Amino acid sequence: MNCEEFEREFANLEHLSDDSAALEAHRASCRSCAGLVSDVKFITAEARQMTSSSEPSGRVWRQIHSELQKSGLIKEPRQTVFAPAPAFGWFPRMSMGLAYAAVFVIALGVVYIYSILAPRVATPALPQPPNPPFAQVFEKIPPQQRSTYVNHLNQVDASIEQLKAFLAAHPEDPFARQELFTTYQQKSRLWEDLVRWHDFSESTAPPAIPEAIPASSQP
């Protein structure tokens, strides 16, 4: 068997482990073909272990959710952003004592870690929320679709108000600041979706998403 025959037969294998005696004999005497086989084995072994590290943006779920709502597959109102729907609807069915104990222990851990890590510095001013002209665009879309957007916007705005009030009382809380930033992003994305899915010739450009909450070291 020469190298060309080897490669043709190797390419025709159903599984790499189906190696024939002839293939093995050639491999034993040919470094080039042995290298080819070992590389293919290496590549396929790595490929099978490739995990899914990347994930789709939050937009995908929002679209799915809104489609499910439109088609009536979801039969309950969406929960507010600030109090997100528990990811596990069956969580309350756990022994409640156990659930509360777990939450308490986690909360203690978070408080402890935060007490170690939190920098003791001045709190920066809050950025302003994005404020695109929703009302103008709402006028131009069909009423059935409008109500979904209006509800969503009201929920996001309510969350922003809640978080601002909370931050006024607890200005150094980094979790609430992050949450506020997230709701700003949600509002910006809501606007982007609105503009993207409804082609308005005279519509304004989507607002810029705030870069980030200023680092706590800023005055």
Binding stretches for another protein (CB under 8 A): 2-4, 7-8, 10-14, 31-32, 35-36, 38-40, 42-44, 46-50, 52-57, 59-61, 63-65, 67-68, 71-76, 78-79, 85-90
Q: Which 7-66 residues touch Zn ion, going by CB under 5 A? A: 30, 32-33
Q: Using CA atoms in the order 19, 21, 24, 29, what is the torsion angle rounded to 10 degrees?
A: -160
The alpha-helical segments, DSSP class H, found in 49-95 are 58-70
Nearer to another protein, 102 or 121 (CB): 102
Cβ 120 to another protein shortest distance, Å: 36
- Of 170, 163, 164, which Cα lies nearest the Cα of 81? 163
Nearer to another protein, 177 or 188 (CB): 188
Nearer to Zn ion, 33 or 160 (CB): 33
> Under a CB-based contact definition with an 8 Å cutoff, are residues 140 and 204 in contact?
no
Nearer to another protein, 43 or 121 (CB): 43
> Under a CB-based contact definition with an 8 Å cutoff, are residues 194 and 137 in contact?
yes
Please name the amino acid found at residue 191: W
